[in-house]
Amino acid sequence: MKIRVLSGLVSVALAVLSSAVAAAPIAVVYTIDKKSFKKITADDTLTFSFYDDDQCTNLVSSGGVSAGAAGVSYSTSKLRTVKGGAKPPKGMRIDAVVDVDPVPAVAYVALTSSAAVVPVPAACQLQAAVGGGLLALANMSCGAGEAVVGFDAAGGVVCEPFNTFVRRGPVTNVNEADLGGWSQCYQHTFAGAPADNILTDVMTTCTGAEILLACRPVGDTEFDVVAHAPRADVVFDTTTEATTTHHANGTEWYFSGVASWGFAAGGDAVNKVPCDIVDTNPEKRICIHLQNGSVASFGGWRCGAALNVEDDTWEWVVFERD
């Protein structure tokens, strides 16, 4: 599938002019709502914040430029409506060059200013920058039956079959039928028995290169929340320290054989006592009590916003893929 730059739909930074440690100019393209644009004046400062995740939670650099600077230009962009779809808002495209510290080859950007800015279509917009100059649009494609799902560290596209479930960060309300490309390899209720060991029982049964952890009420076809990452990240030892996590694929993972196993949304804090009790974005959290590396005798503890789920009416399920 070819990637085409559609005005107002795909935000692409066209150049990273330097890879030195010092700040360097980066060309940024960002789309906002046309009505919000009317509130921007020449005296406003446009601040572009760069992140390495698509939820714009892990800040890596930022830079500001005057809205009235000579290097900033504005143009209208007309968003198309698919047949039967909702009418999109009118967009205004901003092209700017900002000086920032080095950013990843692929970064996401959020815009703020002293004026009210309502982005279109989302606050966190992709800026696919390729070092050395120009974005290689000719290489922005996948094979037949595949779709672009992201970019690697060198700025190259990452392809997956159309039906493969690939997401960054925890995702809520996911139907099991939508987990294309994943195979269930383990299931356990939130009750204590059986006291399977996570590393020697679960992870030896689930041998895929990537692991997806999900939970739901028993009998439901929809998971309350799911998240996935490479297997080493999913069970990365974060010790018993209450706030320590391991960031991978937009998710804060934690694992301690004598405490708990689970995740939270990227950038969110946890408080493991020994299971996580923080209520920020509660719907994007899972926590399972562990003892001596195994499921705790009392089971539990949280599936999304549902707490104290320590019986066989709730379950956590593990999927795998290579």
Model pLDDT for residues 49-60, shown as the tens digit of each residue? 888 888 888 888
The pLDDT value given to residue 71: 76
What are 65's two structure tokens? 């430029």
The DSSP bridge pattern shows strands 294-295 and 301-303 to be unpaired
The DSSP bridge pattern shows strands 171-175 and 222-230 to be antiparallel
The pLDDT value given to residue 151: 62
CA 98 to chain centre: 25
What pTM value is reported for the model?
A: 0.59
Percent with pLDDT over 70 in the chain: 79
- For the chain, how many helices (H) and strands (E)? 3, 22
What are 93's two structure tokens? 């495209």
The pLDDT value given to residue 35: 76
Q: Give the residue extent of every domain in the chain.
A: 15-151, 171-321
Q: How many CB atoms are closer than 10 A to CB 230?
A: 13
Closest CA relative to residue 142, chosen from 2, 322, 5 = 2
The pLDDT value given to residue 90: 72
Percent with pLDDT over 90 in the chain: 47
Integer angstrom CA distances of residue 201 from 187, 197, 204, 209, 237: 11, 5, 5, 16, 17
The pLDDT value given to residue 239: 94
Q: Indicate the average pLDDT of the chain.
A: 82
Burial of 234 (0-12, 13-18, 19+ CB in 10 A): buried
What are 109's two structure tokens? 């950007």
Cβ–Cβ < 8 Å for 51, 108: yes
Is the pLDDT at 6 greater than 50? The verdict is no
The per-residue pLDDT for range 243-297, each reduced to its tens digit, is 999 999 999 999 999 999 999 999 999 999 999 999 999 999 999 999 999 999 9
Distance CA 277, CA 280 (A): 9
- Higher-confidence position of 150 and 234: 234
The per-residue pLDDT for range 66-99, each reduced to its tens digit, is 888 877 888 875 666 667 777 666 778 888 888 8
CATH fold label, 15-151: Immunoglobulin-like (2.60.40)
The pLDDT value given to residue 122: 62
Cβ–Cβ < 8 Å for 225, 303: yes
- Higher-confidence position of 315 and 44: 315
Is the pLDDT at 139 greater than 80? The verdict is no
Cβ–Cβ < 8 Å for 281, 168: no
